[in-house]
Every structure is written in structure tokens, then in C-alpha cells.
Amino acid sequence: QKEVEQDPGPLSVPEGAIVSLNCTYSNSAFQYFMWYRQYSRKGPELLMYTYSSGNKEDGRFTAQVDKSSKYISLFIRDSQPSDSATYLCAISGGGADGLTFGKGTHLIIQP
């Protein structure tokens, strides 16, 4: 059973575009949702963390969770070449549970 599905891409968009990255998950027990950014051969870097359904905004980034559809999204506004990286969604049942990751979407922002 694939618990977290994420399109690996690559997704290539021009600079300044709005980027939409998505994941679906299968287990409704997951309650906590995170987005990490990972540059090549580096560790995942936390971008956003959400708990409830709805939107959470932080600068150019917006995380969206729809628990009824088991669907999570990350939107990047005014995308920059420095945003080029792999974006990983991660979910957790809470507490000290290990995270379950999606495979990551490789994003390329063209100057």
C-alpha cells in the first residue's frame, strides 16, 4: 500500500510563475502535514507545517490541506530560480512518530 503519492516530475516553470505541488495520502490516521525542500545531496529542510484542514501562509509559500480528500498542496508565488529543488511532502500520525514521505517533486524554475 503506497501511503503517500507524489508526482516526481520534473516540473519546469518560468520565473515568476505560481507553482502548485501536490500529494495524496491513503491513511486518515495521519494528522500532521509538512513540506520539506531538499537540494541535491543535502538534508531535507523544513518549509511548512500544518495540522488542520485549510490554508497556512508563510511569505511566498502557502500550504493547503484537505483532509476529506486526503490531499495536500504547496503553492509557491513569484517563483525564483533559487526555488529549484526537490519538494517533499511528509505526514505523521502525531507525537514522536516517524515521518512518511512522498517521493518528492523535482522543481525547476527557469530564469
Partner 1 sequence: EPEVTQTPSHQVTQMGQEVILRCVPISNHLYFYWYRQILGQKVEFLVSFYNNEISEKSEIFDDQFSVERPDGSNFTLKIRSTKLEDSAMYFCASTSLGGGLTDTQYFGPGTRLTVL
Contact 40, 108 (CB under 8 A): no
Instruction: Check residue 42 for interaction with partner 1 (CB under 8 A).
Output: yes
Please name which of 72, 67, 81, 78 lies closest in space to residue 102, comparing C-alpha atoms: 72
Instruction: Check residue 98 for interaction with partner 1 (CB under 8 A).
Output: yes
Contact 32, 63 (CB under 8 A): no
**Candidate list 36, 74, 83, 87; residue touching partner 1; CB under 8 A:** 36
**Candidate list 56, 60, 70, 103; residue touching partner 1; CB under 8 A:** 103
* Closer CB to partner 1, 59 or 96, in the complex: 96
